[in-house]
Amino acid sequence: MLVAERLQRIVELVNERKSIRVTELSELFAVTEETIRRDLDKLESEGKLARTHGGAISLAESDTEVPYYEREVVRKEEKRRIAEEAVKLIRPKDRILLDASSTAWYMAKLIPDIPLTVLTNSIKVAIELAGKEKVEVISTGGIVSPGSLSYVGPLAERSLESYHVDRLFLSCKGARLDRGLSESNELQALVKRRMIEAADEVVLLADYSKFGVQAFTHVAGWDRVARVVTDEKTGQGDVARLREMGIDVVQLKG
């Protein structure tokens, strides 16, 4: 099999299975694991898949919830930079809400140890902030969603109804200018709707890949979003439209 044929087949397999390991590909194509790693590095540089520890995952859109350990490595540089910018919006003694997105987890890592109240449904966010003495962390509780390492369900929703925060930082699966925000499943969408209701201001953390995507369940319209933090790859047409809607857009520079 020619190299080009092998690369094409690898992309097809990753998209079919959503994730695959180096060892499996090595056996399948009868080449060394080092050769497969080079193939995956090349395909990642071309934007055709994302590398993970020991394998690769698909970048093709899906309505299923992507496991957290996979979301952590997909477009991680964009997410880290967006999180860095979003943290600048936080002031001492603020009451904020962080969702269970990987971008919110990057925020939790970057938040300084200042007097702050953070409400979250994310297990990883809560653990990350637990070591910061001045930050008070409140977890919603609820049913654990293994894929996102988050709390969902009726208990999480009722918990959110009990609180009021200054600012919510959240991400989503899709952000279409004509339809608003959407999520991969109803449980996540319901929790995010409650989060939006609990906040004075909603800040959407969305890299370029979110725009134009319609996921399974509607979360909210753009009228509920006050600010968007995005990266430089987001189309200028989308940015202009958001600003026309009265939304403050913070777009990172390349």
Q: With the CA atoms of 115, 119, 121 and 122 taken in that order, what torsion angle do they form, in degrees rounded to the nearest 10?
A: -10
Task: Tell me, yes or no, whether 116 and 194 share the same domain.
Answer: yes
- For residue 70, the model assigns a pLDDT of 52
Question: What count of Cα atoms within 13 Å lies in the side-chain half-sphere of residue 163?
Answer: 25
Q: Is the whole-model pTM more than 0.85?
A: no
Task: Tell me, yes or no, whether 49 and 88 share the same domain.
Answer: no
> Does residue 199 fall inside a structural domain?
yes
Q: Nearest-CA neighbor of 29 among 55, 9, 59?
A: 9
Mean pLDDT of the chain: 90
Task: Tell me, yes or no, whether 92 and 127 share the same domain.
Answer: yes
Say if residues 251 and 234 touch (Cβ distance below 8 Å): yes
- Reply yes or no on whether the pLDDT at 146 is more than 90: no
CA dist., res. 168 & res. 98, Å (int): 6
Task: Count how many domains the chain has.
Answer: 2
CATH number of residue 11's parent domain: 1.10.10.10
Q: Buried b / exposed e across 37-59, counting CB within 10 Å, b at 16+? A: bebbeebeeeebbbbbeebbbbb
Q: Which domain holds residue 27?
A: 3-60
> Does residue 68 fall inside a structural domain?
no
Task: Tell me, yes or no, whether 185 and 224 share the same domain.
Answer: yes
Say if residues 62 and 23 touch (Cβ distance below 8 Å): no
pLDDT, tens only, 125-137: 999 999 999 999 9
> Does residue 71 fall inside a structural domain?
no
Q: Nearest-CA neighbor of 238 among 201, 208, 205?
A: 208
C-alpha angle 177-182-186 in degrees, rounded to nearest 5: 160
Task: Tell me, yes or no, whether 229 and 105 share the same domain.
Answer: yes
- For residue 57, the model assigns a pLDDT of 80
> Does residue 211 fall inside a structural domain?
yes
- Reply yes or no on whether the pLDDT at 119 is more than 60: yes
CATH number of residue 173's parent domain: 3.40.50.1360
pLDDT, tens only, 177-187: 999 999 988 89
> Does residue 126 fall inside a structural domain?
yes
Backbone angles phi, psi at 201, to 5 degrees: -135, 135
Task: Tell me, yes or no, whether 151 and 208 share the same domain.
Answer: yes
Task: Tell me, yes or no, whether 130 and 47 share the same domain.
Answer: no
Concatenate the DSSP letters of all residues of 153-218 into one string: SHHHHHHHHT--EEEEEE--SEEETTTEEEESSHHHHHHHHHHHHHEEEEEEE--GGGBT---SEE
